[in-house]
């Protein structure tokens, strides 16, 4: 695929993503979008594998460097970000439908949405589209928020972090809209967890090892529950390999939480609102150069004067976010989320 074909494919994809009323209603547009996504993904795969291109003169280009790959991805995001701001119908689709895009294309669209922002609307206008999605049973959500609030009252940092870790691991099994709201609350706890986890200080490494050891023993209660302290130490020694594997897996999860904290610090409400930034989509689930891409993306914007615009977009998003949450999750949940955003 030539650069001209690539740019046209990106533009066509953006147009379809913005213009299709629903994936079900327009099968022809869906077929076109699938084709474009495949073209873009194939092109991305060739770049990732370092394949050379042949110019019209027959001269082979040098293997793409990491910087060149990232810069090309930034160009794609720039094209997508120039599309119109997200409207009510876009938000409804975003939070109620399973993601259709994957890999690099999904990452490009998510980063572009940050720059596009959400079109402001009155509370009544939001209610017209979101009221049918309102949860009828909010007991589970309110119970979750109550537990989240009580966590902040725990004075011991280790106990607070470990309780928070266990709370995050709970999963919602209801409607898409419930999973969206539940994911928002989980991400708030993920961000709080990461904020405390990355604190510097003497003894923090030992503190973190203690955390992993307790989590490992909780995972294997049938082995450790009845043991005395010295017996637990002996058993941990015997299970050194299993513990190392367990720790490596959880370090990946915690790295994803830290990644979420990084993006939230920069973009606030835009991150909580967009289901792409759910923890299940971060860390090892992202492309290999996503962290480099995000770093470049977040440092390029101030140079382009986008930081002031983003602040305005974030304020608009925060207001829209609050109105949507009041409609679908109730005033208590909405207030909790907005208070968290205000304290950030």
SS (H, E, C) 293-329: HHHHHHHHHHHCCHHHHHHHHHHHHHHHHHHHHHHHH
3-state helix, strand, coil in the chain (%, to 5): 75, 0, 25
What average pLDDT does the chain have? 78
Least-confidence region, from 13-17, 127-131, 281-285: 13-17
The mean per-residue pLDDT over the stretch 124-130 comes to: 90
More confident position, 28 or 95? 95
Indicate the pLDDT class of residue 100, thresholds 50, 70 and 90.
Answer: confident
The angle that helices 66-81 and 3-19 make with each other, rounded to 10 degrees, is 40
Q: Note whether residue 326 is domain-resident.
A: yes
Q: Domain residues for 200?
A: 128-343
pLDDT at position 278, please?
80
pLDDT at position 309, please?
66
pLDDT at position 19, please?
46
Looking at the chain, the whole-number percentage of residues with pLDDT higher than 70 is 75
pLDDT at position 60, please?
44
pLDDT at position 37, please?
54
Dihedral sign, CA of 300, 304, 308, 310? negative
Give the pair of three-digit tokens for residue 18. 């913005």
Report residue 12 CA to chain centroid gap. Answer: 25
Looking at the chain, the whole-number percentage of residues with pLDDT higher than 90 is 22
Residue carrying structure tokens 């996503």? 290
Q: DSSP label at 63?
A: P
d(CA 82, CA 94): 19
pLDDT at position 149, please?
80
pLDDT at position 287, please?
85
Instruction: Select the highest-mean-pLDDT range: 20-34, 197-211, 293-307.
Output: 197-211
d(CA 143, CA 268): 25
More confident position, 242 or 23? 242
Q: Note whether residue 58 is domain-resident.
A: no
Asked if 177 and 135 touch (Cβ cutoff 8 Å), the reply is yes
Indicate the pLDDT class of residue 242, thresholds 50, 70 and 90.
Answer: very high
Q: What angle do CA 132, 135, 138 make, to 5 degrees?
A: 160
62, HSE (Cβ side, Cα atoms, 13 Å): 4
Please, which residues have CB within 8 angstroms of residue 304's CB and are 6 or more apart in sequence? none
pLDDT at position 177, please?
80
Residue pLDDT, tens place only, 13-66: 555 555 444 444 445 555 555 555 555 555 555 544 444 444 444 444 544 677
Q: What angle do CA 227, 230, 233 make, to 5 degrees?
A: 90
Number of Cβ within 10 Å of residue 344's Cβ equals: 12
Asked if 318 and 341 touch (Cβ cutoff 8 Å), the reply is yes
pLDDT at position 179, please?
81
Q: Note whether residue 6 is domain-resident.
A: no
Q: Note whether residue 67 is domain-resident.
A: no
**Backbone dihedral angles phi then psi of residue 274, each to the nearest 5 degrees:** -90, 115
The mean per-residue pLDDT over the stretch 307-315 comes to: 69
Please, which residues have CB within 8 angstroms of residue 97's CB and are 6 or more apart in sequence? 23, 176
Buried b (16+ CB within 10 A) or exposed e, 34-61: eebbebbbebbeebeeeeeeeeeeeeee
Q: Note whether residue 224 is domain-resident.
A: yes
Kindly tell me if the per-residue pLDDT of 304 is higher than 80.
Answer: no
pLDDT at position 2, please?
56
Q: Note whether residue 168 is domain-resident.
A: yes
Distance separating the N- and C-terminal Cα atoms of the chain: 44
pLDDT at position 174, please?
59
pLDDT at position 317, please?
85
Q: Note whether residue 44 is domain-resident.
A: no
pLDDT at position 235, please?
93
pLDDT at position 217, please?
93
Q: Note whether residue 292 is domain-resident.
A: yes
pLDDT at position 213, please?
92
Please, which residues have CB within 8 angstroms of residue 211's CB and are 6 or more apart in sequence? 158, 161, 162, 165
Q: What is the total count of domains within the chain?
A: 1
The mean per-residue pLDDT over the stretch 106-115 comes to: 91
């Amino acid at each position: 695929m030539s650069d001209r074909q690539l740019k046209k494919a990106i533009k066509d994809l953006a147009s379809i993503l913005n213009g299709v009323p629903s994936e079900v209603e327009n099968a022809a547009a869906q077929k076109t979008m699938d084709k474009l996504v495949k073209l873009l993904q194939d092109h991305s795969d060739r770049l990732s594998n370092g394949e050379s291109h042949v110019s019209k003169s027959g001269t082979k280009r040098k293997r793409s460097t990491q910087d060149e790959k990232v810069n090309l991805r930034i160009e794609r995001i720039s094209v997508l970000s120039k599309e119109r701001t997200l409207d009510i119908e876009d938000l409804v689709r975003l939070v109620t439908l399973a993601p259709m895009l994957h890999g690099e294309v999904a990452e490009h669209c998510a980063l572009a949405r940050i720059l596009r922002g959400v079109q402001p609307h009155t509370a009544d206008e939001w209610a017209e589209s979101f009221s049918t999605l309102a949860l009828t049973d909010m007991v589970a959500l309110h119970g979750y928020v109550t537990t989240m609030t009580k966590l902040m009252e725990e004075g011991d940092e280790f106990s607070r972090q470990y309780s928070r870790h266990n709370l995050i691991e709970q999963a919602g099994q209801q409607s898409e809209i419930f999973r969206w709201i539940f994911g928002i609350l989980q991400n708030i706890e993920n961000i709080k967890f990461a904020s405390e986890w990355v604190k510097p200080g003497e003894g923090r490494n030992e503190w973190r090892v203690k955390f992993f050891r307790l989590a490992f023993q909780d995972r294997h209660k049938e082995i450790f529950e009845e043991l005395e302290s010295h017996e637990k130490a002996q058993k941990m020694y015997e299970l050194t390999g299993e513990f190392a594997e367990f720790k490596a897996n959880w370090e990946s999860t915690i790295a994803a939480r830290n990644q979420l904290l990084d993006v939230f610090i920069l973009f606030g409400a835009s991150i909580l609102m967009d289901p792409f930034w759910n923890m299940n989509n971060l860390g090892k689930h992202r492309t290999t150069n996503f962290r480099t891409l995000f770093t470049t993306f977040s440092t390029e914007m101030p140079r382009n004067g986008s930081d002031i615009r983003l602040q305005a977009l974030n304020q608009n998003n925060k207001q829209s976010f609050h109105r949507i949450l009041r409609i679908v999750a109730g005033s208590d949940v909405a207030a909790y989320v907005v208070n968290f955003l205000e304290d950030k």
